[in-house]
């Protein structure tokens, strides 16, 4: 198996699941994972929602309701080079500032939570990534179903060490994984994805019109 892994806290449960099964991963940030997936260097991964449209994906992703805490717009200017979906989301929501995603977002202050802003506007959760494949569909289908059905227990010391590296407490890290981030996608998440893809398409068309 050739699996790309987003090396953020939000996928630590998936990483631990694969580790227990003896499956190695190729780790990086979301935008790089997208690139590897498109180039065929990996067979499967949680890829950014903006890149997942028209791909072979399962109803499994990285989602959050009302807030996410790790996808922010902070004082400043610019996109986050690690991101694909969040940069577009900020533009759709017309939020000005510096996009900051992933583990480094836990160190930021005085920022706006993009999932919270999305929820306030659409009353829907937001899906930041989808688990997609470009080879061995049935094999990965079995794997991702097992991941969803099995409650993932992260060893205390593993999560504590990870939390300390982010500058947050064990309790904050556990609450983030237990109460904020989830993976199984239902009709509300699918509806949110359709809205996001439509708005992203409208944004692209508007830019082309403005530059012509």
pLDDT tier for residue 135 given thresholds of 50, 70 and 90 = confident
Strand pairing partners for 99? 73
Q: Specify which residues 133 forms β-bridges with.
A: 44, 56
- Which pLDDT does position 152 carry in this prediction? 87
Q: Give the pLDDT confidence of 73-119 residue by residue, as tens digits.
A: 999 999 999 999 999 999 999 999 999 999 999 999 999 999 999 99
Distance CA 132, CA 3 (A): 10
Structure letter (DSSP) for residue 105:
G
Strand order in the sheet with 71-74: 98-101, 71-74, 112-113
Secondary structure letter of residue 87 according to DSSP: H
42: its two tokens: 């990996």
Model confidence at 207: pLDDT above 90: no
Q: What is the pTM of this model?
A: 0.93
Cβ-contact 129, 82 below 8 angstroms:
no
């Amino acid at each position: 198996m050739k699996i790309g892994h987003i090396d953020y806290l939000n996928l630590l449960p998936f990483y631990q699941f694969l580790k227990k099964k003896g499956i190695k991963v190729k780790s990086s940030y979301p935008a790089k994972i997208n690139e590897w997936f498109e180039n065929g260097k990996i067979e499967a991964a949680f890829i950014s929602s903006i890149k997942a449209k028209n791909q072979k994906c399962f109803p499994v992703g990285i989602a959050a309701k009302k807030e996410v805490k790790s996808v922010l717009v902070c004082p400043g200017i610019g996109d986050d080079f690690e991101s694909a979906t969040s940069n577009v989301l900020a533009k759709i929501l017309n939020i000005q500032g510096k996009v900051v995603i992933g583990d480094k977002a836990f160190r930021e202050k005085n920022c706006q939570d993009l999932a919270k802003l999305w929820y306030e506007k659409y009353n829907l959760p937001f899906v930041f990534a989808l688990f997609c494949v470009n080879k061995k569909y049935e094999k990965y289908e079995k794997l991702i179903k097992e991941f969803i059905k099995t409650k993932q227990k992260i060893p205390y010391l593993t999560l504590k060490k990870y939390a300390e590296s982010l500058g947050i407490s064990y309790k904050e890290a556990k609450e983030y994984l237990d109460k904020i981030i989830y993976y199984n996608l239902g009709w509300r998440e699918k509806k949110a994805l359709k809205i996001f893809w439509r708005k992203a398409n409208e944004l692209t068309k508007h830019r082309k019109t403005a530059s012509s």
